[in-house]
Amino acid sequence: VRVRAGGSAAGARPRITLLTDFGTADGYVAAMRGVLATLAPDTPVDDASHAIGHGDIEAAAWCLLQYWDRYPVGGVHLVVVDPGVGGSRRPIAGEVAGRFFVAPDNGVLTHVLAANPSFELVHIDASAVVLEPTSATFHGRDIFAPAAARLATGTRLERLGTAINDPVALNVAPARQERGVLHGEVVHVDRFGNLITNVPGDWLEGASDVIVSGRSVGRPRRHYGDAAAGELVALIDSAGRLEIAVRDASAAARLGTSRGAPVTVRLGGGD
């Protein structure tokens, strides 16, 4: 089917997704779910993840990018990775390409907003939205979950607070091309130890060699299966970016590579 999954919303019920760094064992996620069950009792709630590293905004932003537009329009994506909760950072809500977002204003929406310049954002400051008493340390339960429940049940975005247009953004360096060489970096290491880069897959035509952590990986191939077990392989990942992997093992462990490591790609010539 040629229709992209997230594009067809006909018949879809609004749905809320949850992304946090809370783990589950302390009951914080369940407390948020209880608030959602009370304020939006008919809205299904999906756990995206509660295993983001403590306060790792970059990882949360990356994770969100993998799924937000695979969901139908009308749903609400709730993100609570919020180091320094209760300080001066704003709670925000937004609408991008028909989906709603609720999050702290700390950069976690960077990738979503960067790809969709036409967005609407508000600072959640309407007193009718938050639960009282409002904890100073658990805005996920007392501010973010109630705001998500309002959006899922039809409250209009502008009723949640004051419009803003200056969201905090992560400092994301794009890949660049210079005299036949692509320069990028590792932007995410996934559970399998795959190294995901910021190099767009459609820049790779004619690529003859990929180099990461000083190691030549050769030209990009199509499948993990094109490599022998244990062999390093470069390929285009499921989000359309250059990825370096080891079949059935961890490229990150093999190469000692972590987020931020430089990646270069030689174009043309080649062996």
Stretch 50-109 residues interacting with a second copy (CB under 8 A): 50-55, 59, 62-72, 75, 83-88
Residue 202 found at the interface with a second copy (CB under 8 A):
no
Q: Pairing between strand 76-80 and 16-20? A: parallel
Among 164, 211, 236, 267, binds a second copy (CB under 8 A): 236
Among 80, 120, 173, 248, binds a second copy (CB under 8 A): 248
Q: Are 74 and 14 in contact (CB under 8 A)?
A: yes
For helices 28-39 and 145-152, angle between their N-to-C axes, nearest 10 degrees: 30
Residue 206 found at the interface with a second copy (CB under 8 A):
no
Residue 30 found at the interface with a second copy (CB under 8 A):
yes
Residue 259 found at the interface with a second copy (CB under 8 A):
no
**What separation in angstroms does the CA of 204 have from each of 63, 170, 251?**
24, 26, 20
Q: Are 199 and 182 in contact (CB under 8 A)?
A: yes
Residue 147 found at the interface with a second copy (CB under 8 A):
no
CA distance linking residue 132 with residue 114, whole number of Å: 34
Q: Are 201 and 236 in contact (CB under 8 A)?
A: yes
Q: DSSP class of residue 140?
A: I
Residue 15 found at the interface with a second copy (CB under 8 A):
yes
Among 93, 188, 197, 204, binds a second copy (CB under 8 A): 188
Among 100, 101, 138, 144, binds a second copy (CB under 8 A): 138
> Around Cβ 68, how many Cβ atoms within 10 Å?
24
Residue 143 found at the interface with a second copy (CB under 8 A):
no
Give whichever of 42 and 166 is closer to a second copy, judged by the CB atom: 42
Three-class SS state of 33: helix
User: C-beta of 160: minimal distance to a second copy in Å?
Assistant: 13
Give whichever of 49 and 181 is closer to a second copy, judged by the CB atom: 49
Among 225, 230, 260, 270, binds a second copy (CB under 8 A): 225
Residue 26 found at the interface with a second copy (CB under 8 A):
yes
Residues 148-177, interacting with a second copy (CB under 8 A): none
Q: How many residues bind a second copy (CB under 8 A)?
A: 91
**What separation in angstroms does the CA of 220 have from each of 96, 115, 233, 258?**
33, 25, 7, 20
Exposed/middle/buried for residue 74 (C-beta within 10 Å: 0-12, 13-18, 19+): middle
Give whichever of 62 and 185 is closer to a second copy, judged by the CB atom: 62
Residue 253 found at the interface with a second copy (CB under 8 A):
no
User: C-beta of 161: minimal distance to a second copy in Å?
Assistant: 15
CA distance linking residue 218 with residue 264, whole number of Å: 11
